[in-house]
Amino acid sequence: MIITANPEIASPDTAFSTGANAAHTDSGKTRRDSPVRISLLRSATGLVLLAICIADVYQFADPDIWGHIRFGQLVLSTHHAILHDTFSYTAFGREFRNHEWLTDVTMAFIYNHAGILGLKIWKFLFVAGTILAVVVAMAETGASIAVQLIVLLTAASALPLQEQFRPLVYTLFFFAATTALLVRHNYRGSAPLYLMVPTMLLWSNVHGGFVVGLGAIGIYAAAASLEDMLCGRGMKRAWTLAFYTLAATLVTLANPFGIGNWRTVLDFVFSPYIRNVIGDWRPLIPALLDQLHSNAPMGALLYILVIVVIGFVVLTFCLTPRGGDLPLVAIAAAMSYAAFNARRNIPLAAIACSPVLARHASLCFERLRARNLVGPPLYSTNPAGLQRIQRLTGVFAILIAIAAGIFSPRLQDDRGYPIGAVAFMKAHRLHGNILNDFDWGDYLIWHEPESKVFIDGRFAAVYPFSVIREYLDFYIDHWNTTEALSSYRSDFVLISPSRKAYDLMMSLPDWRLIYSDRDSALFAKSNSAAAKLTDVPVVGHMPAKSYFP
């Protein structure tokens, strides 16, 4: 790779000094021993654009998009928050603590006025914001352009599977922005920490991931304060960080559900069933093994890549422990643990590890270069050649965006949905209570509004654990359990033929298959009018691809 020369590249005695004292002041002045900023935004703009397009390459409708837009549309039409459930028959009237209510309103407003293309632009902007925040954070470390580029493209490759059309895009952006703020504070001794307060106020109304941001702030404050105490620097910085941490925590209560917002998030985090229902909550190693067993090499490579990145963070930190960034290392360690605990946290680990890896990798290279074990980086001092490279990289990024469908007005579904079964129900005016697959709940809320669902993606935000357990008993774990059928008045059962419950339903004399295709199977009670329709069961044929909505 040809890298541009930068007049601000620091020597080992400046940008790559130990930096142990780089973050102990809050005077607002830049410390002389702080790393010199080396920004990719000035030196490799085309590659930054490429990283953004890589991170935004996933352009599919995930199972929750129908619900987010429908809930938001209801808020816009009624002009008040939805406080109780009206979409299910297992939790009807139960309190609905929607910790993502503002995202739902935003997505609904954008979809109502700008359609699918508007949603794609919305996602692209937040993905771009996330990447730019990572770039800003790495610039503060004084790492070389070459190291920053490698780390940035690696981090961008870890984002696509979670950068989807859902509230998590806010968490990734706000977490990256918070990380950049803390990185600046660590190396410069000062930063506009007050921005954490309005950030948390907004964050706590768009996604439950705000607890991750508070965790990062708390870890940084604790580690920095402990570092100051051990080095005899006094408690000034500790009190400042404690004040902003407390203020950021208190403003999270400013939402339509108050402390209930926290209860919902904690219910998600500590639910004993969530890993059995939502694949994103699976631990990293079992998820990796699942990808290998299912012959999905791209997913497996992503997980391996993240493990390698975390491994390199550990290695480079052990080789150069005096990097002046112990509080940032503590955050990276916590987010790495979170990634191993649930694969949905992989992007958080990539974001938190980026400035730490950039810092310590550059320190390692400088140590090797000082011993003449490696040569100097390759630079190009030809402005014309650099401009050609930037243009080619920009064109390549645009080609990736076009191939991924970022500019397309269509949004492909990410899996099979009961399109044929719902069309069959509409054609025969069949409505009622539907014992449905979890991933299809929001789809049914959108397409079958006259019916009620058994469960949907809102999970612990509305459904009691008893309903979730009975769903799991019926669909996944104990296929011969019929408690979900007997405990609630279900008129239809809509499941995938690949589910274990399909065999159970076929064996029950009280239920009859009335429609089936490659993706879905619809059952009705044997004594119902639906079961007595002529020519049932109907066998449908599904198209190779389907599109939202």
pLDDT tens track for 357-376: 999 999 998 888 777 765 55
437 found inside a domain:
yes
Strands 492-495 and 521-525: antiparallel
Residue 118 one-letter amino acid: G
Last residue of a domain, one of 360, 380, 404: 404
Confidence of residue 477 (pLDDT cuts 50, 70, 90): low
Last residue of a domain, one of 353, 374, 404: 404
Can you give the residue range of the structural domain that contains 17? Answer: 3-29+49-55+97-404
Task: Specify the 3-state DSSP secondary structure of 413.
Answer: strand
**φ/ψ (deg, to 5) at 393:** -65, -40
Same domain? 367 vs 434: no
Same domain? 176 vs 252: yes
Residues 366 and 322: their CA atoms lie apart, in Å, by: 14
Confidence of residue 291 (pLDDT cuts 50, 70, 90): confident
Residues 491 and 452: their CA atoms lie apart, in Å, by: 10
44 found inside a domain:
no
pLDDT at position 500 is 82
498-543, pLDDT tens digit by residue?
888 888 889 889 999 999 999 999 999 999 999 888 888 999 888 8
21 found inside a domain:
yes
Same domain? 150 vs 227: yes
Cα dihedral across residues 64, 69, 70, 74: positive or negative: positive
Q: Are 113 and 180 in contact (CB under 8 A)?
A: no
pLDDT at position 384 is 59
Q: Which two tokens stand for residue 373?
A: 């074990």
Rounded to the nearest 10 degrees, the angle between the axes of helix 145-157 and helix 346-370 is 160
Confidence of residue 268 (pLDDT cuts 50, 70, 90): confident
374 found inside a domain:
yes
Residues 259 and 241: their CA atoms lie apart, in Å, by: 23
78 found inside a domain:
no
Q: Which two tokens stand for residue 489?
A: 């008045």
Same domain? 183 vs 239: yes
352 found inside a domain:
yes
pLDDT at 21 over 60: no
pLDDT at position 234 is 81
285-300: average pLDDT: 78
Residues 6 or more apart in contact with residue 411 via CB below 8 angstroms: 59, 60, 61, 116, 119, 120, 165, 405, 547, 548
287 found inside a domain:
yes
Q: Which of 27-36, 47-56, 184-193, 208-217 has the lowest mean pLDDT?
A: 27-36
Confidence of residue 22 (pLDDT cuts 50, 70, 90): very low
310-322, pLDDT tens digit by residue?
999 999 999 999 8
60 found inside a domain:
no
Same domain? 424 vs 544: yes
Tally of structural domains, the chain: 2
The fraction of the chain above a pLDDT of 70, given in percent, is 89
Last residue of a domain, one of 354, 374, 404: 404
* Greatest pairwise CA separation for the chain in angstroms: 85
Same domain? 326 vs 455: no
Residues 430 and 492: their CA atoms lie apart, in Å, by: 9
Same domain? 484 vs 442: yes
The fraction of the chain above a pLDDT of 90, given in percent, is 54
Same domain? 399 vs 424: no
Q: Are 453 and 87 in contact (CB under 8 A)?
A: yes
pLDDT at 67 over 90: yes
Confidence of residue 383 (pLDDT cuts 50, 70, 90): low
372-393: average pLDDT: 62
448-469, pLDDT tens digit by residue?
999 999 999 998 889 998 899 8
Task: Specify the 3-state DSSP secondary structure of 492.
Answer: strand
Residue 482 one-letter amino acid: T
209-243, pLDDT tens digit by residue?
999 999 999 999 999 999 888 888 888 888 999 99
Same domain? 389 vs 428: no
Instruction: Give how far Cα 106 sits from Cα of 29, 49, 103, 167, 196, Å.
Output: 39, 25, 5, 10, 22
The residue whose two tokens read 């190693």 is: 285
Same domain? 283 vs 390: yes
